């Protein structure tokens, strides 16, 4: 007991000495923030743009998971200032062992690093414990763009759902994200000049998007309301339950032929999908989504760049600050589209002009007969390319 009392006195004296030195240097005493209270302190910090509800919910989940981990591994650590690098690394190691994807791992790391940095002064944190921890290399699974025919099938299927139809048309026509389509302000629409001018919710960047006929038809049918949004019902639904929008879109895609093969066993029919909507990850707890609402954005960019629209013009529509992001994450041409686009631009020495040859009808018939729901687009592109190279169909 005597030893414990001596240790407590020494510890108290040391802490008081640190406090005194800090007060002499800064004029104030060191403050502290409990891990359990940190998220509320973070939410009231000033920021450039209001945080979205989904981001705040995600932040609360990550911080709660970290706090729970700390309480289990080292219950004595209760304040942010007590968290050391070894504890931060141990938490991230546990997330990696849990099987999260590299993208999720990096998102958690980047968030906690910025979280501790933002509260560093208020929490008396001597050193940010997450600084110096490297991110993991991401094995990115890109979304698949739709072809023009596939978009037409989706639009046709969407007409059976008047609620989601205008949102899908807006997504296809503007390359805007799901939330921006649902929350499109009436004030952003200029039907007279056929342009939309609006700030994106993710980056706050101003984008300018021409209104094409398919979208114009939808916008011209809008009825005047007191709501500031072009689609009031959809805006309200997105704000209360954004997953409902996702489910409605997925239902339309299934009607158009896009679903996972595993789903066919649960349906009345056993049709093969035109395309899967998920793909297994090399690492990760969940499958990657490869065909969803965001695929409309990827499709818009891919079709535009394939049609030789300058990337600078595409950036004005998508709101991306750099061309690198557009080309890396959104330009996903099919192999035949990619080859044809390059062949038409490169010098003849490299791209060449295929030597004309007679059309073999038997070979053509065999190719058509071999088509199935999963290969028809590739065979179609190959046959169209062959037709284009035939010298007057000799």
What CATH number has the domain bearing residue 328? 1.10.443.10
In a domain, 221, yes or no: yes
Residue range 184-200: mean pLDDT, rounded: 93
Same domain, 174 and 267: yes
Q: Which carries the bigger pLDDT value, residue 388 or residue 100? A: 100
Q: Is the pLDDT of residue 254 over 60?
A: yes
Q: Are 379 and 364 in contact (CB under 8 A)?
A: no
Q: List Cα–Cα distances, 129 to 2, 85, 133, in angstroms.
A: 35, 4, 9
Same domain, 384 and 247: no
**Residue 202 confidence (pLDDT):** 81
Q: Pick from 98, 118, 138: which residue ends a domain?
A: 118
CATH label of the domain that carries residue 89: 1.10.150
**Residue 232 confidence (pLDDT):** 96
**Residue 390 confidence (pLDDT):** 47
Same domain, 180 and 38: no
Residue range 7-22: mean pLDDT, rounded: 57
**Residue 255 confidence (pLDDT):** 93
For residues 346 and 166, give the distance between their C-alpha atoms in angstroms, rounded to a whole number: 40
Within 13 Å, how many C-alpha atoms sit on residue 286's CB side?
7
The length of the chain, given as a count of residues: 394
For residues 192 and 222, give the distance between their C-alpha atoms in angstroms, rounded to a whole number: 15
Residue range 210-220: mean pLDDT, rounded: 93
**Residue 271 confidence (pLDDT):** 72
- From 23-27, 98-102, 264-268, the region with the lowest mean pLDDT: 264-268
pTM of the shown model: 0.62
Residue range 41-63: mean pLDDT, rounded: 88
Q: Which carries the bigger pLDDT value, residue 308 or residue 38? A: 38
94: region left, alpha or beta (phi > 0 left; psi from -120 to 50 alpha):
alpha
Q: Is the pLDDT of residue 393 over 50?
A: no
Structural domain count, the chain: 3
- For every residue of 154-173, DSSP letters joined together read HHHHHTT-TTTHHHHHHHHH
**Residue 380 confidence (pLDDT):** 78
Let me know if 297 is exposed, middle or buried by CB neighbors in 10 A (0-12, 13-18, 19+).
buried
Same domain, 219 and 176: yes
Residue range 56-74: mean pLDDT, rounded: 95
Q: Is the pLDDT of residue 26 over 70?
A: no
**Residue 391 confidence (pLDDT):** 44
Residue range 215-236: mean pLDDT, rounded: 94
Q: Is the pLDDT of residue 351 over 50?
A: no
| Structural domain boundaries, residue 55 | 21-118
**Residue 270 confidence (pLDDT):** 62
Same domain, 372 and 267: no
Per-residue pLDDT band at 49 (split at 50, 70, 90): confident
Residue range 301-309: mean pLDDT, rounded: 81
**Residue 328 confidence (pLDDT):** 62
Q: Is the pLDDT of residue 82 over 60?
A: yes
361-374 residue pLDDT tens: 777 777 787 777 77
3-class DSSP state for residue 367?
helix
Per-residue pLDDT band at 219 (split at 50, 70, 90): very high
Same domain, 86 and 209: no
Same domain, 88 and 174: no
Same domain, 242 and 346: no
**Mean pLDDT value across the chain:** 82
Q: Is the pLDDT of residue 318 over 70?
A: yes
Task: Express as a percent the part of the chain with pLDDT over 90.
Answer: 45
Same domain, 213 and 224: yes
**Residue 13 confidence (pLDDT):** 56
Residue range 155-165: mean pLDDT, rounded: 95
- For every residue of 344-363, DSSP letters joined together read HHS-TTTT--PPP----HHH
Same domain, 178 and 236: yes
């Amino acid at each position: 007991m005597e030893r414990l009392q001596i240790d407590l006195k020494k510890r108290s004296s040391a802490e008081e000495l640190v406090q005194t030195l800090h007060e002499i240097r800064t004029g104030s005493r060191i403050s502290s923030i409990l891990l359990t209270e940190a998220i509320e302190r973070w939410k009231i910090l000033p920021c450039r743009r209001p945080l979205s509800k989904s981001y705040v919910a995600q932040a609360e989940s990550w911080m709660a998971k970290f706090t729970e981990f700390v309480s289990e591994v080292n219950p004595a650590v209760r304040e942010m200032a007590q968290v050391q690098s070894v504890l931060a690394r141990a938490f991230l190691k546990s997330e990696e062992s849990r099987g999260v994807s590299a993208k999720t791992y990096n998102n958690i790391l980047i968030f906690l690093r910025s979280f501790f940095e933002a509260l560093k002064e208020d929490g008396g944190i001597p050193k940010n414990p997450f600084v110096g921890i490297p991110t993991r290399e991401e094995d990115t699974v890109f979304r698949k763009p739709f072809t023009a025919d596939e978009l037409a099938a989706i639009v046709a299927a969407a007409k059976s759902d008047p609620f989601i139809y205008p949102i899908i048309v807006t997504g296809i026509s503007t390359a805007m994200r799901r939330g921006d389509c649902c929350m499109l302000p009436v004030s952003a629409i200029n039907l007279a000049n056929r342009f939309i001018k609006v700030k994106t919710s993710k980056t706050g960047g101003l984008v300018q998007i021409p209104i094409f006929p398919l979208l114009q038809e939808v916008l011209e049918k809008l009825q005047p309301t007191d709501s500031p949004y072009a689609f009031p019902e959809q805006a309200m639904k997105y704000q209360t339950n954004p997953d409902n929008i996702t489910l409605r879109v997925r239902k339309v895609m299934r009607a158009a032929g896009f679903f996972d093969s595993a789903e066919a066993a649960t349906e009345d029919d056993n049709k093969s999908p035109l395309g899967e909507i998920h793909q297994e990850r090399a690492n990760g707890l969940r499958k990657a989504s490869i065909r969803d609402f965001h695929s409309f954005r990827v499709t818009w960019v891919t079709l535009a760049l394939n049609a030789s629209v300058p990337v600078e013009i595409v950036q004005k529509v998508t709101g991306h600050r750099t061309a690198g992001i557009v080309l890396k994450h959104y330009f996903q041409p099919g192999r035949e589209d990619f080859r044809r686009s390059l062949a038409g631009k490169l010098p003849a020495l490299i791209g060449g002009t295929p030597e004309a040859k007679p059309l073999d009808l038997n070979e053509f018939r065999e190719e058509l007969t071999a088509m199935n729901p999963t290969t028809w687009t590739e065979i179609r592109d190959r046959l169209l390319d062959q037709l284009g190279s035939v010298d007057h169909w000799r």
